[in-house]
């Protein structure tokens, strides 16, 4: 071989070895280049605590190991892995400093990530008992944070691969009973997010792991693998179209200029070639379940009935893709302007319709619309009472309980308060979950099934409600009477 050529080869080898030596910080086994779908994804990584070792004896384990130092090291390694895969990462801290929670929340909100991961380790009062297990916290519950639950389950699975002990996914309300954790509470409508607790630094045996740089690398990889798998399954997203003008000039949000607009949901699976699982689409209007028609894959028309009643409303929906990945809960708040006398007409007609099985849906829509205009009125509790009974009639007992609880807690001077005391409705404070609000995109004229403008006054017999009631079977009438009677008896 030409001597100058072999010299070049030797120099190249030395350079390569040098490069490898510089990169020795990461000694794991993850092949980040194969996770191409992470390219461009935004991930907020929050190393819990920091800068408080001198005054925070609780977050220190055997041998002086602190939670904050482990959290930081795991996050720095996780950040490197994610960046190597092409993701954009924002860390809430990169050194041992005390960043207040509101600042971390603000940083996350400004970054607008696709996923938020807060990295912690647990301590316990039962230090002597050798308590150790992983857990992953989500905001609220699986029902209100389905997307966070999906990611939390994947992360818990990865913790189980590196730890001998079994753990679980939990609501952060299990730890912070009234509000949940600040980090997740203030970001839960931003993106899916979790707090990972990778075992107990207070446990002698696990503290040995957490002191071992190799173990910390394993833990960073566990987070990374969960993130990579989560994005591989796709993060479903949604938009909403409407075929009428939506004004946003006054105090009230999204004033619809039509009472019969075509509202279309545009759903994305979050991964090319993956579909929406139609059977998982759930839509409600003011907590009343309503249907949606599939126009084509990913495009659905909201079937709210013949028209929208005046008042403030909220459509909520969620769905999954065919890889079983849940969307966040989305919500479309809007209002329909009210004219003279409409409130009273809605109360009158709604009260009539809500007591019959076949018209209860429409009656509920009317009463909820009326209630939305005057929640502080002296007779608001009566409306709530009828609404709760209507939900019982249509087979939505959870919604009924929610409205009974509302009377009990929010209207302490209500005539129904004493009746509800001591029942199942007085021990659960009714919390409203609003979901991630979406703006309406005005698509005048381009929406399929666009309806022509028609104003139908409340209670107009030509709307068909009256005919529907006439054809109402006597047997159903008897059944609904019995149901209402049983309900009445249960309060006595």
Q: Which residues bind Zn ion (CB under 5 A)?
A: 48, 120
Cβ atoms of 369 and 354 closer than 8 Å = no
Question: Taking the complex as a whole, how short is the minimal distance between the CB of residue 312 and Zn ion, in angstroms?
Answer: 40
The residue written with tokens 């979950």 in the block is 433
Question: Taking the complex as a whole, how short is the minimal distance between the CB of residue 59 and Zn ion, in angstroms?
Answer: 7
User: Which CB sits closer to Zn ion, 48 or 50?
Assistant: 48
Closest CA to 215 of 48, 73, 76: 73
User: Which CB sits closer to Zn ion, 119 or 369?
Assistant: 119
Question: Taking the complex as a whole, how short is the minimal distance between the CB of residue 49 and Zn ion, in angstroms?
Answer: 6
User: Which CB sits closer to Zn ion, 159 or 358?
Assistant: 159
CB-based closest residue to Zn ion: 120
Question: Taking the complex as a whole, how short is the minimal distance between the CB of residue 122 and Zn ion, in angstroms?
Answer: 7
Measure the N-to-C terminal CA separation of the chain; round to a whole number of Å. 102
4: left (phi over 0), alpha (psi -120 to 50) or beta: alpha
Cβ atoms of 62 and 207 closer than 8 Å = yes
User: Which CB sits closer to Zn ion, 105 or 393?
Assistant: 105
Bridge-partner residues for 331, per DSSP?
Answer: 316, 437
Cβ atoms of 67 and 123 closer than 8 Å = yes
User: Which CB sits closer to Zn ion, 73 or 286?
Assistant: 73
Question: Taking the complex as a whole, how short is the minimal distance between the CB of residue 129 and Zn ion, in angstroms?
Answer: 19
User: Which CB sits closer to Zn ion, 137 or 458?
Assistant: 137
User: Which CB sits closer to Zn ion, 211 or 451?
Assistant: 211
- Residue 53 in tokens: 């070792």
User: Which CB sits closer to Zn ion, 46 or 114?
Assistant: 46
Question: Taking the complex as a whole, how short is the minimal distance between the CB of residue 123 and Zn ion, in angstroms?
Answer: 8
Contacts 24+ apart (CB under 8 A), 433-436: 433/140, 433/144, 433/329, 434/189, 434/314, 434/331, 434/333, 435/144, 435/189, 435/316, 435/318, 435/328, 435/329, 435/330, 435/331, 436/189, 436/190, 436/328, 436/329, 436/330, 436/331
* Rounded-to-integer distance, Cα 139 and Cα 82, Å: 24
User: Which CB sits closer to Zn ion, 57 or 289?
Assistant: 57
Question: Taking the complex as a whole, how short is the minimal distance between the CB of residue 48 and Zn ion, in angstroms?
Answer: 4
User: Which CB sits closer to Zn ion, 121 or 314?
Assistant: 121
Question: Taking the complex as a whole, how short is the minimal distance between the CB of residue 130 and Zn ion, in angstroms?
Answer: 19
Widest distance between CA atoms in the chain: 104
User: Which CB sits closer to Zn ion, 121 or 436?
Assistant: 121
Question: Taking the complex as a whole, how short is the minimal distance between the CB of residue 273 and Zn ion, in angstroms?
Answer: 39
Question: Taking the complex as a whole, how short is the minimal distance between the CB of residue 210 and Zn ion, in angstroms?
Answer: 13
Question: Taking the complex as a whole, how short is the minimal distance between the CB of residue 77 and Zn ion, in angstroms?
Answer: 18
Cβ atoms of 452 and 346 closer than 8 Å = no
Question: Taking the complex as a whole, how short is the minimal distance between the CB of residue 120 and Zn ion, in angstroms?
Answer: 3
* Rounded-to-integer distance, Cα 205 and Cα 356, Å: 64
User: Which CB sits closer to Zn ion, 70 or 400?
Assistant: 70
């Amino acid at each position: 071989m030409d001597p100058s050529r072999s010299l070049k080869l030797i120099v190249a080898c030395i350079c390569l070895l040098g490069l490898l030596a510089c990169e020795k910080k990461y000694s794991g086994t993850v092949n980040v280049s194969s996770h191409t779908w992470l390219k461009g994804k935004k991930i907020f990584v929050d190393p819990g605590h920091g800068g408080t070792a001198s005054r925070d004896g609780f977050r220190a384990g055997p041998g002086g190991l602190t939670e904050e130092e482990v959290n930081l090291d795991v996050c720095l390694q996780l950040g490197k892995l994610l960046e190597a895969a092409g993701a954009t990462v924002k860390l809430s801290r990169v050194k041992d400093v005390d960043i207040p929670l509101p600042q971390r929340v603000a940083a996350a909100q400004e970054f607008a990530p696709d996923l938020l991961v807060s990295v912690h380790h647990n301590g316990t009062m039962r230090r002597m008992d050798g308590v150790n297990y992983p857990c992953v916290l989500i905001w609220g519950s699986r029902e209100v944070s389905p997307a966070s639950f999906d990611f939390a389950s994947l992360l818990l699975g990865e913790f189980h691969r590196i730890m001998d002990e079994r753990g679980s996914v939990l609501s952060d309300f299990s730890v912070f009973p009234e509000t949940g954790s600040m980090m997740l509470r203030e970001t839960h409508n931003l993106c899916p997010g979790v707090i990972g607790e990778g075992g107990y630094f207070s446990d002698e045996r696990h503290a040995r792991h957490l002191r071992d740089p190799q173990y910390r690398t394993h833990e960073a990889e566990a987070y990374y693998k969960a993130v990579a798998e989560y994005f591989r399954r796709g993060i479903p997203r949604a938009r909403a179209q409407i075929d009428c003008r939506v004004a946003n000039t006054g105090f009230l949000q999204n004033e619809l200029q039509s009472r019969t607009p075509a509202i279309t949901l545009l759903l994305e699976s979050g991964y090319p070639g993956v579909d929406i699982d139609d059977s998982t689409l759930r839509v409600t209007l003011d907590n009343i379940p309503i249907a949606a028609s599939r126009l084509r894959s990913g495009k659905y028309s909201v079937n709210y009935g013949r028209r929208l009643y005046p008042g403030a409303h909220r459509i909520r929906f969620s769905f999954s893709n065919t890889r079983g990945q849940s969307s966040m809960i989305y919500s479309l708040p809007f209002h329909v302007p009210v004219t003279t006398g409409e409130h009273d007409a809605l109360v009158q007609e709604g009260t009539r319709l809500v007591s019959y099985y076949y018209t209860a849906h429409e009656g509920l829509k009317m009463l909820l619309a009326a209630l939305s205009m005057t929640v502080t009125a002296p007779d608001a509790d009566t409306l709530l009472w009828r609404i709760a009974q209507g939900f019982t009639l249509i087979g939505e007992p959870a919604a009924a309980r929610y409205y009974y609880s509302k009377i009990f807690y929010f209207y302490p001077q209500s005539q129904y308060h004493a009746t509800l005391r001591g029942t199942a409705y007085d021990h659960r404070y009714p919390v409203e979950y609003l979901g991630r609000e979406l703006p309406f995109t005005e698509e005048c004229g381009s929406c399929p099934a666009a309806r022509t403008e028609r104003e139908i006054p409340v209670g107009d017999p030509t709307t068909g409600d009256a005919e529907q009631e006439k054809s109402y079977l006597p047997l159903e009438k008897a059944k609904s009477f019995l149901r209402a009677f049983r309900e009445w008896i249960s309060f006595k």
